[in-house]
Amino acid sequence: MHLSLDLSVVWAFVIAFAVFAYVVMDGFDLGVGLLFRGLRPGEERDTAMNSIAPVWDGNETWLILGGGSLFAAFPLAYAIILPALYAPIIAMLLGLIFRGVAFEFRWRDPGHRAAWDVAFTGGSLVAALGQGITLGALLQGISVAGRGYGGGWWDWLTPFSLLTGMSLVLGYALLGATWLVMRTEGTTRIHARRMAFRFGVATIACIGLVSAATPFLNAAYAGRWFTWPSVLLTAQVPLFVVVGTALFFRALARDAERAPFLLALGLFALSYAGLGISIFPDIVPGRVTIWEAASPRSSQIFMLVGASVLIPVILAYTAYAYWVFRGKVGQEGYH
């Protein structure tokens, strides 16, 4: 590490931030999609959809920003990771297509509304599962040959990647349920609160399982977690998870409005930080570091000029959007 600005580290954090912004924001709206079939047709479903309608495609933009920045700032990583995770990524894209157009088409085509509702839930499920499997497959390691992917087209499929896939589905459902607790009223909210309990338990169990399995995937992961004295720092993460879990269930039991959602986001942030501890400074875990994958300085600077102006603008705008649409939502839609 130099004292001068290390652009690769800057870009690693920008991309990590974009991915996290994507996970929490599209996470809750995918979660609403996952819970959608459990809601009654008519008022409950319309309310749930209207609670995410104004913000979902802004949320999804972070996925494009994350992928695009990876291509620009770390092209070698982009070139290795995407072919390795071919099937889950393409499944995710196809799921997102179904889900994205369901928002538009559902309202324009009442005759086929039931079908678009299935597409909405199905698309959300496939997308969430694809993302979770992608994460697990990345974490378990990718075989690299030269400057490219060196494995087969089923390498991503392991018990571990299925575990992370299922974990993300359950976690997104938790975010969706707590979001609805915060944003809706009446029967929708009662249903959502019940779901928040169930998916809360499931998510905590998954965090435990994934955390227990991860150090065994790669000696370097274990090293980053358990080396003295940095273990004093890393040990805070599971500790906070325990505290967060207790607070989460207490808030839910007290029927709080916003706290369950914010605490669920906190659990996601802690899991994400844990992930970061495991892999940093690698970008293809165990194989390629951020410095090895980096674009030349001139590319990183050229893009940083635009990003440093536009990302704050986008963030401010997003915050404004959430502020405008705060509070309880009706089933009538915004216009």
Which conformational region is residue 148 in: left (phi greater than 0), alpha (psi within -120 to 50 degrees), or beta? beta
Q: How far is the CB of 275 from another protein (least distance, A)?
A: 21
CB of 202 to another protein, least distance (A): 29
Amino acid at 137: A
Which CB atom, from 1 or from 313, has the smaller least distance to another protein?
313
Q: Give 3-state DSSP helix, strand, coil % of the chain, rounded to 5.
A: 80, 5, 20
Residue 78 beta carbon to another protein: minimum distance, rounded to whole angstroms: 5
| HSE-up of residue 319 (Cα within 13 Å, Cβ side) | 6
Closest CA to 136 of 279, 265, 290, 288: 279
Q: What backbone torsions phi and psi does residue 145 show, to the nearest 5 degrees?
A: -125, 120
Question: Does residue 331 contact residue 47 with C-beta atoms inside 8 Å?
Answer: yes
Query: 90 or 231: whose CB is closer to another protein?
Result: 90
Smallest gap from Cβ 29 to another protein, in A, equals 11
Shortest Cβ distance from residue 125 to another protein (Å)? 15
| Residue 79 vs 237, nearer CB to another protein | 79
Task: Name the residue nearer to another protein (CB basis): 1 or 145.
Answer: 145
Cβ neighbour number for residue 262 with a 10 Å cutoff: 14
Q: Which of 67/238 has CB closer to another protein? A: 67
